[in-house]
Structure 1
């Protein structure tokens, strides 16, 4: 199953210290509730920036997600 969502992956230094991004669990839960059971893709930082250039370009098309 191909990922339906992507996040910027942790930097190596954060991986080394086993940093956990708790909000990723929330994102996964929300996607599951919406019927998308695929894993969230983790994209290397610079690749993520490149992909973001192709994201929604509609005026005022930005979205900020707030936990809680």
Structure 2
């Protein structure tokens, strides 16, 4: 009885496919990491802008009182 081999032995092809798969996975991981970092930086920037607006308002009120 003859054996039908659906996947002929081609070690170079398998190696290339594994390498490409690993690169794609690493790229996906890097993309997720960058996305999470951007979200964190955006949140920090929004907090700092809110603090700045509050300080600007306090300074404007203080300046108005001092000029009277």
Q: TM-score range by the shorter chain?
A: under 0.3
Higher helix share: 2
TM-score (normalizing by structure 1): 0.25
Higher strand share: 1
Q: Quick one: higher RCO (CA 8 Å, sep 6+), 1 or 2?
A: 1
